[in-house]
Amino acid sequence: MSTTTFSSICFNQVFLRKGEVKNRNQKVKPNVGGASVLSAKCMQSSENNKKEVRIGLLGASGYTGAEIVRLLANHPYFGITLMTADRKAGQSMGSVFTHLAAQDLPTLVSVKDADFSHVDAVFCCLPHGTTQEIIKGLPRHLKIVDLSADFRLRDIAEYEEWYGQPHSAPDLQKEAVYGLTEILREEVKSARLVANPGCYPTSIQLPLVPLIKAKLIEHGNIIIDSKSGVSGAGRGAKEANLYSEIAEGIYSYGVTRHRHAPEIEQGLSDAAQSRITVSFTPHLMPMIRGMQSTIYVEMSQGVTIEDLYQQLRKCYEGEEFVKLLDKGVVPRTHNVRGSNYCLMNVFPDRIPGRAIIISVIDNLVKGASGQAVQNLNIMLGYPENTGLLYQPLFP
């Protein structure tokens, strides 16, 4: 077998689990015959040669940046060649996050000193308000997934209203694709710039969009009660996030004014093809990671709980990361910790005609970095589960 042929075979395969090989354009099939030997050789080749896609990670010193590094440690095609962190410039990633000390990573540099000549794609994990100017200045050949909120809202006037500053890259906003992967997969495929969804909007839109599209629930009187681990507030030192402020209590915040509200309503309104306004209240929980959204809805005339359940089953049947649980099973944040999964279920309310939907994700993975990797996989033509088959950490 020639080197070219061998490399081509390696390029077109993703190793999912023992005994299986997946072609970039095929469904998973059982491995047979000598394929296991070939898989081992391809994996060895991947380890001995530079990875095919050179990744730049902007804002590597935050939690989402660290999660990108953790997830890419087992990605067969994505290799990090550039990392920025202005306040940590000159340091190693291992000194910033000791749990990543075993990884062979480039030294952190400031954004102004970043060299993109050896980068093919970028994960941007910078705070909102700073990302627009930076992405505007990046080379046009780069594929970009932005984890900030800077390109999520299509209406730049709405962005200014909720984020308190004018949008500085309106032309780029027109180009950006909202990356709720399971709902907008086809749009993501052809995108150059993807706006990665927020954590709350991901946990809320995944169960609601299919039901709204199928006209199974009323658009009015949607009540959303969401709870998040403290890591969702970021790594910066804030008084409100001190242990003594968070432990042994629940904190409701952003009441009626949380910045994810317009993002949620934008997605639900798109599904309904009419304006939807929701009642959304987030809560900070005394836990590190995890997110649960409990959603109260009114069913359309003549619709039953079984109709809602079957619609969600139909929509997500065969999906890798969105799972409808068996009837009666309550989703728990413990069951998605450290993974890219979203678990959901639907229950009858005691009030006739109403239903309760519960959805859980890991806010740092499916709610941020995991979905970002999933999106970039799609943008570059790789199976979207590549590097993301980490199972939840339990107990």
The residues assigned a catalytic role are: 199
CA distance 65 to 69: 7
Q: How many CB atoms lie within 10 A of CB 250?
A: 10
DSSP 104-138: --PPPB-GGG---TT-SEEEE-PPTTTHHHHHHTS
In single-letter form, the type of residue at position 277 comes to: T
How far is the C-alpha of 119 from the C-alpha of 117, rounded, in Å? Answer: 6
Write the single-letter amino acid at 4.
T
Say if residues 63 and 231 touch (Cβ distance below 8 Å).
yes
Among the listed residues 210, 186, 208, the one whose alpha carbon sits nearest the alpha carbon of residue 263: 208
Name the 3-class secondary structure at 330.
coil
Q: How far apart are the first and last CA of the chain?
A: 46
Alpha-carbon distance 166 to 49, whole Å?
Answer: 45
The H-assigned helical ranges of the chain are 3-11, 35-48, 63-72, 93-96, 131-136, 156-163, 170-175, 185-189, 199-213, 243-246, 261-272, 305-316, 370-379
The whole-angstrom separation of Cα 366 and Cα 374 is 9
Q: Is 336 exposed, middle or buried (0-12, 13-18, 19+ CB in 10 A)?
A: buried
Please give the structure tokens belonging to residue 246. 């968070």
Number of CB atoms found within 10 A of residue 168's CB: 15
Q: Whole-angstrom Cα distance, residue 222 to residue 75? A: 39
